[in-house]
Structure 1
Amino acid sequence: MTGKIIKGIAGFYYVQVESGVYECKAKGAFRKEKIKPLVGDDVEIDVISEEEMTGNVINILPRKSELIRPAVANVDQALLIFATKSPEPNLNLLDRFLCMMEEQDLPIIICFNKDDLADEGFQQQMRDTYEPAGYRVIFTSAKEQAGIDAIKDILKGKTSTVAGPSGVGKSSIVNILTEGQVMETGEVSEKIGRGKHTTRHSELLYLGDDTYIMDTPGFSSLFVPKVDPVDLYRLFPEFIEPAENCRFTGCAHHKEPDCGVKAAVESGEIAASRYENYLQIYSEMVEQQNNKYR
């Protein structure tokens, strides 16, 4: 029998199959081979008890991807949720998260929730900022349940990680997306220990139709990419083509003359906020690198 690991805790792996969720242990051979099953892994299981829905994970099928933050396998995309207002969108934090996902080569959709509170022109401003980088930008209102169908279409048939800072309505959107499924499978929720008083671990929520989401805990504003500072621009996709016009090889796109990236900022091809955030992250990376060798 094959299924997907939706949660792992204290040596137990909870595997979603068509008929429900099996509580499984991993066979000892995995430990010997230093292979650890991950949430999101597609696995084969041997059933021990149909009645108690228990089994053993006997094989991990090949992974198509593996994220480090959060530790999860086979994720297809990231849905990043910020608010239009209350709280005001922190675009520096947004750009750091985009860098983190770019570093892991994961497609990203940006969702601005609380669209009912947005100032006139906000939608166009955000589209002008992020669509040139190749990101899809959508707008929702969990309060009015507007734009939820668009999210469902984006998620359908995929495994997605959903992330965002506190207060943006991420939990409200996740609750809307999962409500019907949780109601239908209350015993499953009880079996895997979900609830408001439960310590949250990495966990996939099954929405049906081979669709899973991972509600990721908040992420840090202190994130700095692991790449060499000179390669940071590659995590800003809209910088890559203009960078080919730089006069100097290894241009940091900061103080150098005849810089293609700076020219693209001046012409409006690259949003000023994206460039300012690039410079801040770049400076932090250089400082971190310098401190390392002191």
Structure 2
Amino acid sequence: MFTAKAGDKLTGSVVSAYGLYYRVQTELGQIQCALRESLRQEAESRHSVVVVGDNVDVELLVDIDPGEELKKKKTYGAIFKIYPRHSKFSRPKRGKEEIEQIVAANIDQMLIISAVKRPQFKMGLIDRFLIAAHQGSLEPIIVLNKIDLEHTLDLNRLEQIYKSINVSMITTSATKKIGLDKFREVLTNKHSIVVGQSGTGKSSLLNAVEKGLKLKVGEISDYSQKGTHTTAAVEMHPLSFGGYVVDTPGLKYLGLWNIEAEDLRYLYPEIAGYSEKCRFRNCLHMSEPGCAVKEAVEEEQIYPERYESYLKITGELQAEESFKK
């Protein structure tokens, strides 16, 4: 291997981001990079200019000798080009003006981790992640963790509910090593992002299938039954059995980017199919007469759990829209 010279161009993938500095996986290894001036000015004025998962071109700022130990806090290059993204996971970032915050890009699938208990199972949060996955061109997979705990969930019914909309569900227990082979199989040779509430066991599951990760694991409060944040930043990790995984901080709530209440019906496939049969074209399937969706729920053609989830999120979106006016 020859010495890489300052001014040489490399292509790589962003594996972590801290402020305006990025670690990029290149043929030389992982190197810390800043942004070319034009991109830096853009990043200071808007969000998500460069995110984890982006494919980028880098210009080296210093020489790198063969076998040189790459230091974490030394800046070796400047990102000057970002390639188009084919997928993304994003959410709104609220402030004076609501903007899109892209968490990660160029991901194949979203693994939505939920616990059967501790913290409390939230179907509405799962459905919000499903919507975000659809919007970002990601394949969603639901992972129900902690199945070793005593619980009251009907796992077979949940599996049937999501199977009806072509979403796979697997069950696991990181502590009892249940379902880990399937979890590893799902991750193999894919670019995955792992999402969910704090305390559902995201880091524990990843540690269980990839011993070298050593991700920090949190505990559940006995008082609140809620988890604590252990993942402080978004980071992409290589997997020894093939593929990459992005671990994300836990979320209690997921805002939906660029979705209005009247458009939500199109993001529930079972509801979208019946919407065309409603008496009114702008039917929101709430209290309108001649609603084919409500009839389908009564006739058990649509699962009531999903319909209730739709109503709840529709109401929340309407409240947000009223607040913005």
Q: 1:142 aligns with which of 174, 183, 187?
A: 174
Using the aligned pairs only, state the percent identity. 36
- 1:30 is displaced (CA, Å) by 2.7
User: 1:187: which partner in 2?
Assistant: none
Asked whether 1:214 is paired with 2:246, we answer yes
Q: 1:7 to 1:273 in 2, by over 3 A?
A: same
> Higher helix share goes to which structure?
1
Q: Work out the number of aligned pairs and report it.
A: 280
Q: 2:319 aligns with which of 275, 283, 287?
A: 287
- 1:224 is displaced (CA, Å) by 5.2
**Equivalent residue letter for 2:246:** M
SS in 1 for 2:318: helix
Q: 1:31 aligns with which of 40, 43, 47?
A: 40
Aligned mates of 1:165, 1:259 — CA distance in 2: 34
- 1:173 is displaced (CA, Å) by 0.6
User: 2:129: which partner in 1?
Assistant: 97
- Structure 1 length-normalised TM: 0.83
Q: 1:255 to 1:60 in 2, by over 3 A?
A: same
Counterparts of residues 9-28 of structure 1 (less than 5 Å): 9-17=18-26, 20-28=29-37
Q: 1:204 aligns with which of 236, 241, 248?
A: 236
Deviations 1:237-277 (A, max 9, x none): 22111222222211111112232211221222222111112
Q: 1:121 to 1:84 in 2, by over 3 A?
A: closer
User: 1:194: which partner in 2?
Assistant: none
After TM superposition, the structure 1 stretch with the greater mean CA deviation from structure 2, 229-238 or 96-105, is: 96-105
Counterparts of residues 182-197 of structure 1 (less than 5 Å): none
- Structure 2 length-normalised TM: 0.76
- 1:25 is displaced (CA, Å) by 2.5
User: 1:64: which partner in 2?
Assistant: 86
SS in 1 for 2:301: coil
Q: 1:150 to 1:36 in 2, by over 3 A?
A: same
**Are the aligned partners of 1:38 and 1:71 in contact in 2 as well (CA < 8 Å)?**
yes
After TM superposition, the structure 1 stretch with the greater mean CA deviation from structure 2, 24-33 or 87-96, is: 24-33
Q: 1:103 to 1:182 in 2, by over 3 A?
A: same
Aligned mates of 2:197, 2:159 — CA distance in 1: 20
- 1:120 is displaced (CA, Å) by 8.1
Aligned mates of 2:148, 2:214 — CA distance in 1: 27
Aligned mates of 1:75, 1:95 — CA distance in 2: 19
- 1:141 is displaced (CA, Å) by 1.2
Q: 1:264 aligns with which of 286, 296, 301?
A: 296
Aligned mates of 2:291, 2:11 — CA distance in 1: 53
Aligned mates of 2:49, 2:198 — CA distance in 1: 31
Task: Give unpaired runs (5+ residues) of structure 1.
Answer: 184-196
Q: 2:267 aligns with which of 229, 235, 245?
A: 235
Aligned mates of 1:199, 1:77 — CA distance in 2: 20
Q: 1:250 aligns with which of 282, 286, 289?
A: 282
**Are the aligned partners of 1:4 and 1:43 in contact in 2 as well (CA < 8 Å)?**
yes
SS in 1 for 2:255: coil
**Are the aligned partners of 1:181 and 1:208 in contact in 2 as well (CA < 8 Å)?**
no
Greater RCO structure (CA 8 Å; 6+ sep)? 1
Q: 1:82 to 1:33 in 2, by over 3 A?
A: closer
Task: Give unpaired runs (5+ residues) of structure 2.
Answer: 1-9, 71-75, 92-101, 216-228
Q: 1:222 to 1:13 in 2, by over 3 A?
A: closer
User: 1:191: which partner in 2?
Assistant: none
Aligned mates of 2:299, 2:230 — CA distance in 1: 51
